[in-house]
Amino acid sequence: MTALVFATNNLNKIKEIELLLSAKFNVKRLIDIGCLEELPETCATIEANSIQKADYVFTNYGVNCFSEDTGLEVEALGGEPGVFSARYAGEEKDADKNMHKLLEKLKDEQHRVARFKTVITLILDGVHHQFVGILNGVIGLEKSGSNGFGYDPVFVLGDGRTLAELSLEEKASMSHRAIATKKLIAFLSAYESS
């Protein structure tokens, strides 16, 4: 069984991805390899940030690993907040302030189409592979729901519920992160059986 380190310190992302991966793969956390520092995220795109985090772990710890970067892209705002999603309202990464800023910017906007984009970068034996997951929706008029994290309370799905109104299991089965993770699982399954 391939051992992989998930290059993130975000406990919410760890919970979501472990639900999908833990039964099939030996997934370790950064703390398990002694990596306690904050990973760099200084690139201009979601794809590049994902690569940067995986490269950091592979280069400094020499282990097969994968990382992910996710952004919310709102059409009416030209793709904002995008790569700056976590820091939209400032460096403190405050989800409530980020959502408040987003809702303020959209307060007079009828066109509220948005998408979540997750990019997972896998480094396996020194080779990079990327997997993308997209989830389409709209930005609601106000926050709703107490589950999830980040922008989940304002991201409305086709059935009228926000991501924050789904259980962790529901979200983990169909979210942008789940879509990218399922592609990762399919790749790893083929790799192990080849």
Which pTM value belongs to this model? 0.93
Which whole number is the average pLDDT over 161-170? 93
Q: Of 92, 117, 120, 114, nearest to 102 (Cα)?
A: 114
Q: Of 107, 119, 108, 117, nearest to 137 (Cα)?
A: 117
Exposure string (b/e) for 94-115, b if CB count within 10 Å is 16 or more?
ebeebbebbeebbeeeeebebb
For residue 1, the model assigns a pLDDT of 56
Whether pLDDT at 11 is above 90: no
Contact 3, 21 (CB under 8 A): no
Which top CATH class is 3-193?
alpha beta
For residue 2, the model assigns a pLDDT of 67
- Spans of all domains in the chain: 3-193
Annotated catalytic sites, by residue?
69
List, for residues 129-165, the tens digit of each pLDDT value: 999 999 999 999 999 999 989 999 999 999 999 999 9
**Averaged pLDDT of the chain:** 93
Q: Of 66, 17, 25, nearest to 171 (Cα)?
A: 17
